[in-house]
């Protein structure tokens, strides 16, 4: 069973409230990335509740009007950052899987947890917003659907993980099982990083053990 690289498909079936307009020209792309970088940096400084589009534009040295050309507002900005985080995670995981040769389910899930933990420790803003909001959720933000207008965030991520896993997760039952595994891993890893800013090693180990054992056998289709 050989895992496959991620398909060149969007991270979700129905676009969420992320980007209003995708930049095409290099200058626009640079401004777009600066805005997302500024958003990530400010999340570490002021958290989600203190984040404003005005401050993001100031930090990125971009006119506020330019920000609104790309994003509908705060939710759109956060959604676009979540989408970028997911794309980077999936790309890094695909490289880890390729380097491992032909990993089984246990090794694949370990690699996924390890890459998530690595990003949690090193990527700006990831402690507040990974593929969804981790802490305070502003009233104007639909936190559950940052990645997809129909699917919740964990379901959208599970679909992409199944794509990377290829034949490992080909059995029909894995469609639901990966969704459940995402919920379990999300809860335990949140606990791990509440207990320790760098992630409690014992809880990270338990997260790996939980997901590995749960996905060890192909589940029956529901």
Distance CA 22, CA 5 (A): 24
Comparing CA positions, the residue from 131, 75, 113, 97 lying closest to residue 211 is 113
Alpha-carbon separation of residue 42 from 50, 82, 92 (angstroms) = 9, 14, 24
**What gap in Å lies between CA 150 and CA 15, rounded to an integer?**
9
Which parts of the chain have pLDDT scores under 70?
1-22, 222
Residue 18: per-residue pLDDT: 55
Contact 76, 145 (CB under 8 A): no
Structure confidence at residue 92 (pLDDT): 98
Task: Tell me the domains of the chain and their CATH numbers.
Answer: 26-214 (1.10.357.10)
Distance of CA 207 to the CA centre of its chain: 17
**CA–CA separation, 134 and 136 (whole Å):** 7
Q: What is the pTM of this model?
A: 0.88
Which pLDDT does position 166 carry in this prediction? 94
CA atoms within 13 A on the CB side of 78: 30
How many CB atoms sit inside 10 A of residue 92's CB? 16
């Amino acid at each position: 069973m050989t895992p496959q690289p991620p398909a060149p498909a969007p991270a979700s079936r129905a676009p969420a409230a992320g980007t209003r307009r995708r930049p095409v020209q290099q200058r626009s792309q640079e401004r777009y990335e600066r805005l997302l970088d500024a958003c990530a940096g400010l999340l570490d400084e002021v958290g989600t509740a203190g984040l404003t589009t005005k401050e993001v534009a100031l930090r990125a040295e971009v006119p506020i009007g330019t920000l609104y050309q790309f994003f509908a507002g705060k939710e759109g900005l956060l959604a676009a950052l979540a989408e970028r985080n997911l794309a980077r995670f999936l790309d890094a995981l695909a490289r880890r899987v390729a380097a491992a040769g032909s990993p089984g389910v246990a090794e694949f899930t370990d690699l996924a947890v390890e890459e998530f933990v690595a990003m949690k420790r090193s990527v700006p803003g990831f402690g507040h917003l990974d593929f969804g909001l981790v802490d305070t959720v502003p009233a104007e933000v639909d936190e559950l659907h940052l990645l997809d207008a129909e699917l919740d965030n964990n379901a959208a991520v599970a679909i992409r993980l199944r794509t990377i896993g290829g034949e490992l997760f080909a059995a029909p039952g894995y469609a639901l099982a990966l969704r459940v595994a995402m919920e379990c891993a999300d809860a335990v890893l949140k606990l791990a990083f509440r207990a320790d800013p760098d992630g409690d090693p014992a809880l990270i180990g338990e997260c790996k053990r939980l997901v590995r054992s749960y996905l060890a056998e192909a589940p029956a289709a529901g």
